[in-house]
Amino acid sequence: MSVEQQIRQRDAANSGTGVQIRERRLGSITGFVGTAGELVQIARAGELAERERSFTQAGTCSSFCATLQLSLIQDAVVINHAPAGCAGDFPMFNLYNRYGQGKRNLARQNARLLTTNLNEQDTIFGATHKLVDAIHKAFRAFQPKAIFVTASCTSGIIGEDLESVIEEAEQELGIPIASVNCEGFRSQIWATGWDAAYNSILRKIVRPPLQRQLDTINIITFIGDDYFSELLQPIGLKPNLVVPFTGVKQLERLSEAGATAHMCSTLGTFLAAGLEREYGVPEVKSPPPYGLDSTDRWLREVANLTGKGAQVEPFIAAERAAIAPQLEIHRQRFAGRKAFVAAGPSHGHSSMEVLQDLGFDLVGSCMFHHDARLDHGDPTGDSLQAATRHTPGLSYGVCNKQAFELVNLLRRIQPDLVVVRHPSLALSIAKLGIPAVFVDDEHIALGYRGLLRYAHKLANWLANPALERTLARTTKLPYTHWWLNQPPFSMLGEPR
Partner 1 sequence: MSATVGQPRQFCTLGGQQSVVAIERAIPIVHGGPGCSGKIFGGLSFFNGFQGSGYAGGNAVPGTNGCERDIIFGGEQRLREVIDGALKVMDGDLFVVLTGCTADLVGDDTATVVSEYRERGVPIVHASTGGFKGYNHLGHELVVKAIIEQLLKPAKAINPKLVNVWSVVPYQDTFWAGNLKAIRELLEGIGLEANILFGHDSGGIGAWKRIPEAASNLVLSPWVGLSIAEVLHQRFGTPVLHYPVLPIGAVETTRFLRTVAEFAQLPFQPVEDFILKREGNFYHFLDRAADFFMEMRWDLPGRFINISDSIYALGVSRFLVNELSLHPAQQVVTDEPPEEHRETIRRNFAELKERVSAEVIFSNDSDTIGRQLRKTGYDLPPLIIGSSWDRDLAREMGGFHLSIAMPVMDRLVLDRSYVGYEGGLRLIEDIYASVLGTY
Partner 2 sequence: MSTILQHPRHLCALGGQQSVVAIPRAIPILHAGPGCGFKLHTGLGSYNGFQGGCYSGGAALVGTNVGEKEIVFGGEQRLREVIDGALKVMDGDLYVVLSGCATDLVGDDIENVVTQYRRQGAPIVYAATGGFRGSNLHGHETIVNAIVDQLLTPQEKISGLVNVWSTVPYYDPFWAGNLTAIQDLLAGLGLRTNLLFGPDSDGIDSWRRVPAAELNLVVSSWTGLSTAKLLNERYGTPWLHWPTLPIGGKETSRFLRAVTEAAHVDGQATQAFLDRQEKRYHYYFERAADFFLEFRWDLPSHYVTVTDAFYGTGISRLLSGEFGLLPLRHFVTDQPPLEQHEAIQQQFAVLSSELNAPLTFTADGDQITAELREHPDSAPLILGSAWERDIAAELSACHLSIASPMMDRLVASGSYFGYNGALRLIEDIYSMILSAVQ
Binders of partner 2: how many residues, by CB under 8 A? 28
- Select from partner 1, partner 2, none the partner in contact with residue 272, using the beta carbon and a kind-dependent cut-off of 5 to 8 Å: none
| DSSP assignment of 263-287 | S-HHHHHHHHHHHHHHH---B--SP
Whole-number Å distance between alpha carbons of 141 and 137: 6
Residue 158 found at the interface with partner 1 (CB under 8 A): yes
CB of 53 to partner 1, least distance (A): 8
Q: Are 322 and 299 in contact (CB under 8 A)?
A: no
Answer whether 396's CB lies under 8 Å from 364's CB: yes
207 binds partner 2 (CB under 8 A): no
Residues numbered 417-476 forming contacts with partner 1, rule: CB under 8 A: 422-425, 427-428, 476
- Between 134 and 272, whose beta carbon lies closer to partner 1? 134
Residues 6+ apart with CB under 8 A from 83: 115, 117, 118, 119, 152, 154
463 binds, among partner 1, partner 2, none (CB under 5 to 8 A by kind): partner 2
Integer CA distances (angstroms), 405 to 261, 410, 483, in order: 33, 9, 9
Hey, what amino acid is at 436?
A: A
Which amino acid would we find at residue 412? R
DSSP annotation of 288: P
For residues 127 and 106, give the distance between their C-alpha atoms in angstroms, rounded to a whole number.
36
Partner whose footprint covers residue 470, from partner 1, partner 2, none (CB < 5 to 8 Å by kind)? partner 2
> Measured from the CB of residue 428, what is the shortest distance to partner 2 in angstroms?
10
Binding partner selected for residue 491 from partner 2, partner 1, none, CB under the kind-specific 5 to 8 Å limit:
partner 1
Q: How near is the Cβ of 112 to partner 2 at its closest, in Å?
A: 16
Stretch that binds partner 1, among 91-99, 268-276, 286-294, 323-331 (CB under 8 A): 91-99
Cβ proximity of 20 and 11 under 8 Å: yes
Which residues lie closer than 8 Å to 280 by C-beta, 6 or more apart?
Answer: none
Check residue 479 for interaction with partner 2 (CB under 8 A): no
Binding-residue pattern over the window 81 to 100 for partner 2, x denoting contact by CB under 8 A: --------------xx-xx-
CB of 471 to partner 2, least distance (A): 6
Nearer to partner 1, 152 or 255 (CB): 152
Among the listed residues 252, 357, 375, 468, the single contact to partner 2 using CB under 8 A: 468
Cβ proximity of 108 and 101 under 8 Å: yes
Q: What's the min distance (Å) between Cβ of 340 and partner 2?
A: 15
Report d(CA 443, CA 21) in Å as an integer.
27
**Among partner 1, partner 2, none, partner that 468 touches (CB below 5 to 8 angstroms by kind):** partner 2
Helix (H, G, I), strand (E, B) or coil at 420: strand
Interface with partner 2 in residues 435-464 (CB under 8 A): 436, 438, 440-441, 460-461, 463-464
Q: Which residues contact 140 (CB under 8 A, 6 or more apart)?
A: none
Cα(439)–Cα(346) distance, integer angstroms: 13
Q: What, of partner 1, partner 2, none, does residue 9 touch, CB below 5 to 8 Å by kind?
A: none
The Cα–Cα gap between 406 and 429 comes to 8
User: Which of partner 1, partner 2, none interacts with 109 (beta carbon under 5 to 8 A by kind)?
Assistant: partner 1
The answer to the question of residue 119 lying near partner 1 (CB under 8 A) is yes
- Candidates 462, 482, 471, 487; CA nearest to 428 is 471
H or E element, residue 321? helix 309-334
What is the C-alpha separation between 313 and 54, in angstroms, rounded?
Answer: 52
To the nearest whole angstrom, how small is the minimum distance from the Cβ of residue 413 to partner 1?
19
Rounded Cα–Cα distance for residues 405 and 164 (Å): 44
Contact between 475 and partner 2 (CB under 8 A)?
yes
Residue selected from 91, 102, 314, 377 as contacting partner 2 according to rule CB under 8 A: 102
Residue 478 binds partner 2, judged by CB under 8 A:
no
Q: Are 362 and 340 in contact (CB under 8 A)?
A: yes
Instruction: Considering only the stretches 144-152, 205-213, 229-237, 423-431, report the one whose residues sit in contact with partner 2 under the rule CB under 8 A.
Output: 423-431
Please give the radius of gyration of the chain, using alpha carbons only, rounded to the nearest integer: 23
173 binds, among partner 1, partner 2, none (CB under 5 to 8 A by kind): none
Closest CA to 193 of 62, 370, 23, 30: 62
Rounded distance, CA 348 to CA 291, Å? 12
**According to the binding rule CB under 8 A, does residue 423 interact with partner 2?**
yes
Within 4-23, the residues that bind partner 1 by CB under 8 A are 6-7, 10
Q: Is 35 in the site for partner 1 (CB under 8 A)?
A: no
* Cβ at position 474, least distance to partner 2 in Å: 4
Q: Is 430 in the site for partner 2 (CB under 8 A)?
A: yes
Q: Of 136-144, 219-227, 320-328, 410-418, which segment contacts partner 1 by CB under 8 A? A: 136-144
* Distance of closest approach, residue 140 Cβ to partner 1, in angstroms: 8
Q: 332 vs 380, which CB is nearer to partner 2?
A: 332
